[in-house]
Structure 1
Amino acid sequence: MEVIFEVAFNGPKGGYVALDDISFSPVSCQNRTELPFSAVEAGCNFEEDFCNFYQDKEGSGWTRVKVKPNMYRAGDHTSGNGYYLLANTKFTSQPGYIGRLYGPSLPGNLQYCLRFYYAIYGFLKMSDTLAVYIFEENHVVQEKIWSVLESPRGVWMQAEITFKKPMPTKVVFMSLCKSFWDCGLVALDDITVELGGCSSPERL
């Protein structure tokens, strides 16, 4: 195997390209500019704050709420007495309103297991009332990796998703108000991100 460096100029005036200090090593390269993955920083139970999650600057669709006022008598998922996030779009938002919750940046080329708990109330149709997307670093949408199809109302449910992307990405939770009469409440709690696939599901 040989390595060839090629230089091409588009104009007749040419140009200059400098090259120096080329080296080879028998061990794999490490990207020193990319921060290592931290499961602690990637997840949140929202007991103290939003952790490393944040929202769109133009709106605040997600709010930290406690047991009272609370749409669930059982309280949050963590302890029943703590905080969780609530996206309240019931009769307050325009059709098509989307509440986005952005997660911290995750290093690329690693397999992750995303787990979280959610509860939904008030929507006429469940499909896509809560969805999870993968965004690139510059907030460009890559793909939807999960969405609600059907779910019991007002009950904490667990979701888990295995994903892997070559570039650094962010997990984004979206709550969608489809129409004035089809908006509702979406609760989110105990988000965790771990390395590897979701091979052994956790239970409530």
Structure 2
Amino acid sequence: MRLEWTDIAYSFLVDDYGTVYEGRGWDNVGSHTKGVNFVSFGAAVVGNYTKKLPTEAAISAMKKVIQCGIDLGKIANTYELKGHRDAKATKTICPGDPLYNEIKKWDNFPNKLDPCGNLSWIERVEWTSAKIETKPIKHPVSKVFVYHSNNLCVDCANYTECRDLVKKHNWTALENDFALHFIIDGLGLVYDMRGYSRDPNVSGWMDEGRLPIKADNDKAYGIAFIGKSQTKMQVETFEILLKCGVQRGYLVKNYQVLNSSFNTNDPKEVCNNGLLINEIMQKYGTPEKEESFTIPEASGDTSHCNFQEDTCDWYADEAKNGWKRHRGAADEAGMTGPLKDADNNINGYYFLADASKHIDGKIKLSSALYPLTEVQRYYCLKFWYHMYGKDVKSLSIWIHVYSLTKLFYGERKNVLTITGNKGPKWLLQALTIDIETIWAPKVNFEFVASFGNYLGDIALDNIEITRGKC
């Protein structure tokens, strides 16, 4: 009545409670979509869905309307499902991005079998006019890094807000460039960050990124998320994006999904979107594999190592470019790691975990195997540690008990975790460890370092293992 139309334009309408209202019905031509009214039915959901999805009741009712039409013989089994915006004679954003992205997942939507066709792309030219020099990436790529940056820890309610947030982050962070390949916002829109092609289905996949680990630029994609809180649509879009990459031959089928988030160590500063990263890693992440090598026996039941001559009874995984025996400054700029060893000797050696090589995972330093008896089940572990840099995450100490029946891998237990930036200084830690079992004849000790980004190093020195309590 307000629009002075002679009748309702749609065939059917659905409200948020799941109630279905008959408009023109099955047997009358509608006036809903210019150019195709005579060959289609038009169903509308009452409300504005440019910023949110309809209720589950409304979505369920809409699907039932379609099925009802099939059952009555009014809709062919081979029907095509489209949004209002898909009509060539109509210029509209209807039915809104959230609802449109939802119906793209339903049966009989065109390109449903093509995951790339189920993505809503925001081309690079839509959020910046700057062209960048890029280097072609080598296909197929084997790794996908997922990122969460506090710089993107802002909720955006619509495309304009999200686009402006991406543009602002781009200019302030990387001077006309963006390190990653794609960003996914809470509406499920995918921003092409690296390509400058009018075909974002292709361009974002074609160029190397500027990932924190330079060695991975030619064999990894980087994907980040916008928003303070996670949305189901972001997870679903992430999954579709990976399927698209595999189908187009840009990703190997057995790709790895790795966490490389930019979270700080202050819980007050960590965006809740980190929960989204955790969910993705639980579902798609590549689990760490247990090492298969046999750990050697210790040369005695006690040990003291200052690393001046060698690594004593401590072993790092060389395949992962792990902990390294090092001397002098860890970082020439003095922003991370120690300048000297724990004895204040500039030429002294210590063990260093370099963050710039390992922000995608954890690295382990393992001791040799030490004997256990029912009477002597206590060990004292003393060590000096250095955790300096704003991106230092944690240093964890584990014990690994080896049973008679499980010669390689037995019970593993975390006994201490130290977190955060401790400043440019060496600190002493003494820890009494009670091995609470008499069925384990041997035990070894492990230091595990992890980082939030590349500005942070962790070092160890003067590690002492003795029998009994500290």
Give the alignment's TM-score, normalised by structure 1: 0.67
1:155 Cα deviation from its structure 2 partner = 0.6
Instruction: Report which of the two structures shows the higher radius of gyration computed on alpha carbons.
Output: 2
- Give unmatched runs, 5+ long, in structure 1: 1-33, 199-204
| Cα offset, 1:89, TM superposition | 1.5
Determine whether 1:84 maps to 2:356.
no
Deviation at 1:187, TM superposition (A): 0.6
Q: Which amino acid aligns with 1:142?
A: R
Match of 1:105 in 2: 369
Tell me the distance in 2 between the aligned counterparts of 1:150 and 1:160. 19
Q: Which one of the candidate residues 277, 282, 306 is aligned to 1:45? A: 306
Partner of 1:56: 317
SS in 2 for 1:58: helix
Distance change in 2, residues 1:69/1:153 (3 Å): closer
* Larger strand proportion of the pair: 1
Given that 2:387 and 2:420 are in contact with CA atoms closer than 8 Å, whether structure 1 keeps it comes out as no
Q: 1:145 maps to which residue?
A: 415
Query: 1:55 deviation in Å?
Result: 1.7
CA distance in 2, matches of 1:119, 1:61: 17
Partner of 1:21: none
Question: Is 1:130 aligned to residue 391 of structure 2?
Answer: no
Question: Distance in 1 between the 2:324 and 2:423 partners?
Answer: 20
Change (3 A) 1:35 1:115: closer
- Give 3-state SS (helix, strand or coil) of 1:189's partner: strand
For CA contacts below 8 A with separation 6 or more, give which structure has more relative contact order.
1
1:169 is the counterpart of 2:461: no
Q: Is the 8 Å Cα contact of residues 400 and 446 (structure 2) preserved in structure 1?
A: yes
Sort the Cα spacing of 1:57 and 1:182 in 2 relative to 1 into closer, same or farther, 3 A.
closer
The equivalences for 1:159-198 within 5 A come to 159-165=429-435, 166=438, 167=440, 168-177=442-451, 179=452, 181=453, 184-198=456-470
Shift in alpha-carbon separation, 1:139–1:156, aligned structure 2, 3 A: farther
Query: How many residue pairs were aligned?
Result: 156
CA distance in 2, matches of 1:154, 1:35: 32
TM-score under structure 2 length normalisation: 0.31
Counterparts of 1:100 and 1:35 in 2: how far apart (Å)? 18
> 2-side partners of 1:98 and 1:120: how far apart?
15
Give the Å deviation of 1:117: 0.3
Q: Does structure 2 conserve the Cα–Cα contact (< 8 Å) formed by 1:119 and 1:188?
A: yes
Contact preservation (8 Å) 2:386, 2:427:
yes
Q: Distance in 2 between matches of 1:35 and 1:62?
A: 19
Q: CA deviation at 1:194?
A: 1.1
User: d(CA) in 1 for partners of 2:298 and 2:422?
Assistant: 39
Does the Cα contact within 8 Å between 1:108 and 1:164 map onto a contact in 2?
A: no
Residue 79 of structure 1 deviates from its aligned partner by 4.9
What is the RMSD of the two structures over their aligned residues, measured on CA atoms?
2.5
1:148-184 deviation per Cα after TM superposition (whole angstroms, max 9, x unaligned): 145621210011111122321100010013x4x3662
Render the CA deviation track for 1:78-103: whole Å, top value 9, x for unaligned: 3513100100013x3343x1110110
Where do 4+ consecutive residues of structure 1 move more than 4 Å?
Answer: 34-37, 68-71
How far residue 112 of structure 1 moved from its aligned partner, in angstroms, is 0.8
Q: Percent identity?
A: 26
Q: Aligned partners of 1:47 and 1:192: how far apart in 2?
A: 14
Stretches of structure 2 that go unaligned for 5 or more consecutive residues are 1-296, 332-336, 403-407
- Partner SS state of residue 197, structure 1: coil
Q: In structure 2, what residue type is equivalent to 1:173?
A: F
In structure 2, distance between residues paired with 1:112 and 1:193? 7
Match of 1:66 among 310, 322, 327: 327
Matched, 1:117 2:384: yes
- For 2:320 and 2:392, the matched residues in 1 are separated by 24
